[in-house]
């Protein structure tokens, strides 16, 4: 399992991108994806130049009905989740479930070429995303 990204909530994804570009002149930014099933826009920001670095996923709720919008505005949270690439998502879900992780949902993400993803809560209630690695 490899840490792929750290998800951070933002009110406006374009402003979030600009803020990271102020941090470092060689920031690389993916295209912006609409993840309709999650009611969010996302993009991935790479702040260092190493080939396999961990990315920052900027996550903007699409509207005020999104649970993430409420999380960001009512509770003041902006850290959202850790995303991990896994070779065999079904096997990893089984192992983590046996270790006390609670499954929230599975979905196919536009940001990952419609590969299977899953959200889980860790035993200490941190939100974890698993992303099926490319075959």
Question: For position 70, which CATH number holds?
Answer: 3.10.180.10
Q: Which tens digit of pLDDT belongs to each residue from 33-46? A: 999 988 999 999 99
- Cβ atoms of 42 and 59 within 8 Å: the answer is yes
Higher pLDDT, 120 or 20: 120
Domain that holds residue 84: 2-132
Which contiguous run of DSSP H or E holds residue 39? none
Tell me the C-alpha distance between 8 and 51, whole Å: 21
- Cβ atoms of 17 and 43 within 8 Å: the answer is yes
Tell me the C-alpha distance between 56 and 40, whole Å: 15
Q: Which tens digit of pLDDT belongs to each residue from 43-70? A: 999 977 777 889 999 999 998 888 888 7
Number of domains in the chain: 1
For strands 79-86 and 2-9, give the pairing: antiparallel
The overall average pLDDT reported for the chain is: 88
pLDDT of res. 49: 74
Q: List the alpha helices (DSSP H) in 29-132.
A: 67-74, 89-98
Identify the sign of the CA torsion 39, 35, 62, 80.
positive
pLDDT of res. 75: 63
**Spatial CA neighbour of 89 closest among 116, 126, 121:** 116
Tell me the C-alpha distance between 73 and 68, whole Å: 9
């Amino acid at each position: 399992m490899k840490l792929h990204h750290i998800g951070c909530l933002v009110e406006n994804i374009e402003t979030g991108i600009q803020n990271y570009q102020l941090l470092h002149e060689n920031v690389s930014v993916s295209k912006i994806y609409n993840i309709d099933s999650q009611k969010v826009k996302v993009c991935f920001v790479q702040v260092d130049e190493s080939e396999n670095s961990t990315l920052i996923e900027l996550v903007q709720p699409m509207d005020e009905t999104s649970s993430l919008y409420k999380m960001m505005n009512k509770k003041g949270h902006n850290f959202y989740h850790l995303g991990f690439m896994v070779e065999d998502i079904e096997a990893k879900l089984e192992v983590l479930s046996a270790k006390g992780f609670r499954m929230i949902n599975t979905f196919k993400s536009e940001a990952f070429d419609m590969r299977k993803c899953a959200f889980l809560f860790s035993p200490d209630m941190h939100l974890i995303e698993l992303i099926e690695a490319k075959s």
